[in-house]
Structure 1
Amino acid sequence: MTLTLLHTADLHGSMTDEIRDRLLVLRERADFYFDCGDAVKAGNVGVPTSPDPVWTYFRDLRCTAGVPGNREFHVSSSVFRKKLQGCSHPLLAANLHWNGRARRPLLPNSEGDFYWPKGNALPAAKVLGEIGLFGVMVPMVRERMAARFVSAFLNTDPVEAARDCVEWLRPRCRLVIGLSHIGLREDVRLLEQVKGIDILLGGHSHDLLDEPLRVGEGWLMHVGSHAFQAGLHEYRNGTLTTHLEILRSRR
C-alpha cells in the first residue's frame, strides 16, 4: 500500500490565507490530510465569542480528520461545543468520555465513525475503506482529579484507549493510523506498549523531527508548531518517509 499524508499540528491560531494557499498545493499531492490538535487560538480556559477561523481553513483544505488538543478542550460542554463551532471534519478522541450520563456527541456523526458503548464524547475511531484511524488526546481531567466534580468530561489513559481501538480496527483494516495529541515522549511510550499501529502522527509537545522514528512496529512523526512547516509523508511498502515543507519564515 502506498499513501501520501499531509500532517499539521499545534497551529495555535497561526493559519492565514497565505498559509492556507500553500497547504492547498500540498493537499493536491496528498491522499489524506490530518491535523493533530491545538489548532484554535483560544487558550485552555478561553471562551470564544465567535467560531475560530481555522475551521473554515480546514474545510477549504478538505481535512480528513483530526484529534482535539488541550486548546480545544473545556470542562463545560457548552463551551467545548462553542470552541468546535464551525468544525466540519471528524475529530477522534478515544479517551474522552462523558462524566456521568452520555449526551449528544460534540460533533455530528460521519460515515465510518465508531463509538465505545461507555460513552465517548467524540468518535474513538473511524474506518476509511482499508484505512483505520483512531485519536487520543492529552488527559485534561482524570478520575482522581478534583476537577472531575466540575467537568462534563473525563479522560482515560491514552495507551489503554489506543490498545482498545487497535484491537477493534486491526481485523477490519489493512493499515492503522493513530492521531495523537499527547506529546513526543508519550507517543514513544504508546508505540512501545501497543502493537499493531502502522503510523502515529503526533502533536502537543511542539517537537520537530527531521525524519520519522521507528518505534516498535510503527512509525512516529512530529512536525513542530505554529504553522512554520507541515509534513508531507509517504508510506510505501511498510516504510514512512517525510518531506518537511516550509510554510512561513521564522523571522
Structure 2
Amino acid sequence: MLDSGDCIRSGNIGIPLRPEPAWDWMRQAGYDAITIGNREFHITAGGFLAKTRGAPCPLLCANIRPKQPETPLPVQPVWQTVHQGVRVAVIGLTVPMVTPRMKTAPLSAYLFDSPIETAKLWVPRLRPEADLLIALTHIGVSQDRLLAEACPELDLILGGHSHTPINPPEQVNGVWMSQSPPFCKGATLLTLTRSGAHWELSASDRV
C-alpha cells in the first residue's frame, strides 16, 4: 500500500508537539511506503523530524538534499521489495518547495532539485533491478505527464498534490498514471498483469 503525501494535518510551517495521529492510522492500515508532500516537509531540521516522527514505513523523496552533510534527512530516495517473486522499486518525487533561486533558500536546511531531472538520473539505474518500477509522486498531474514523457522506462506513476483523481488510469507514453481522491476520500486498487517486458492494467477499483 502506497501513499503520495500530505498525510498529516500540520501546516507547511507548523511544528507538531506530538506525533501525528495519521501515522498510527496508516500503521494499522499496513502502508508500505509514503512519498512526502508539502505538509510533511519543514524548512528546519527540527521541524522536519518532528513532522515525520512516528511514520509507519519508509518516507520517500529522491529530489531533496540537506545543505549541510550533518543535517539529518528523515527520507530515503527509493524503496525496494520483492512481492510474490516480483522485484518492485518505488522512487519518491516531491514538488520542489525550496530551490536555490528562492528567497527562502537561505532560511532552509534543505533544497529540492527538479523531480523530473532527478528521475532521469535514477530510473536508468533502477530499471535493471526492478520488474515493476513505480514513481510515487507529489508533483501534480501535469508534471506527472511530463515525467511519463521523460522517463518511458517507468511502469506506473501514482500521483498526488494536484487533487486530480484519475480513474480509470490513463496511459502516457506507455506509462500508466493514476491518482486517488484527496483527503482520504478514496483509495485505488490497481491490478497489473505482466505481458513480456511490460505491464497491462487488468483492473482499477476505487474503494
TM band (smaller chain): over 0.9
Q: Choose between structure 1 and 2 for higher RCO, CA contacts under 8 A separated by at least 6 residues.
A: 1
Q: Please give the per-residue CA displacement for 1:11-52, whole angstroms capped at 9, x wherever unaligned.
A: xxxxxxxxxxxxxxxxxxxxxx00110000111111212111
Conserved in 2, the CA contact under 8 Å of 1:125 and 1:165? Answer: no
Partners of 1:188 and 1:56 in 2: CA distance: 33
Aligned residue among 193, 197, 200 for 1:239:
200
Q: Does 1:190 align with 2:147?
A: yes
Aligned residue among 69, 93, 107 for 1:136:
93
Aligned residue among 161, 175, 178 for 1:204:
161
Conserved in 1, the CA contact under 8 Å of 2:95 and 2:138? Answer: yes
Conserved in 1, the CA contact under 8 Å of 2:71 and 2:109? Answer: no
Partners of 1:104 and 1:146 in 2: CA distance: 23
Shift in Å at residue 88 of structure 1?
Answer: 2.4
The normalised TM-score by structure 2 is: 0.92
Going by fraction, where is strand more abundant, 1 or 2? 2
Partners of 2:174 and 2:120 in 1: CA distance: 14
Pair 1:102–1:156, CA change in 2 (3 A):
farther
Amino acid in the other structure paired with 2:205: H
Aligned length: 198
Amino acid in the other structure paired with 1:104: P
Gap runs ≥5 in structure 1? 1-32, 107-121, 246-251
Conserved in 2, the CA contact under 8 Å of 1:183 and 1:204? Answer: yes
Gap runs ≥5 in structure 2? none
In the alignment, what sits opposite 1:169?
Answer: 126
1:101-180 equivalences under 5 Å are: 101-106=69-74, 122-129=75-82, 130-180=87-137
Aligned residue among 61, 81, 87 for 2:55:
87
Shift in Å at residue 94 of structure 1?
Answer: 0.4
Identity of aligned residues (%): 33
The normalised TM-score by structure 1 is: 0.76
Shift in Å at residue 173 of structure 1?
Answer: 1.2
In the alignment, what sits opposite 1:19?
Answer: none
Q: Does 1:56 align with 2:9?
A: no
Q: Please give the per-residue CA displacement for 1:170-203, whole angstroms capped at 9, x wherever unaligned.
A: 0111110110000111100111111210011010
Q: Secondary structure at the match of 1:229?
A: coil
Partners of 1:102 and 1:191 in 2: CA distance: 34
Shift in Å at residue 102 of structure 1?
Answer: 4.2
Q: Does 1:35 align with 2:3?
A: yes
Q: Please give the per-residue CA displacement for 1:126-155, whole angstroms capped at 9, x wherever unaligned.
A: 221211110000100001111110100000
In the alignment, what sits opposite 1:20?
Answer: none
Shift in Å at residue 100 of structure 1?
Answer: 2.9
- What's the RMSD between the two structures over aligned residues? 1.1
Q: Please give the per-residue CA displacement for 1:40-88, whole angstroms capped at 9, x wherever unaligned.
A: 0111111212111110111111211010000111101101110111102
Conserved in 2, the CA contact under 8 Å of 1:170 and 1:176? Answer: yes
Aligned residue among 168, 176, 185 for 1:228:
185
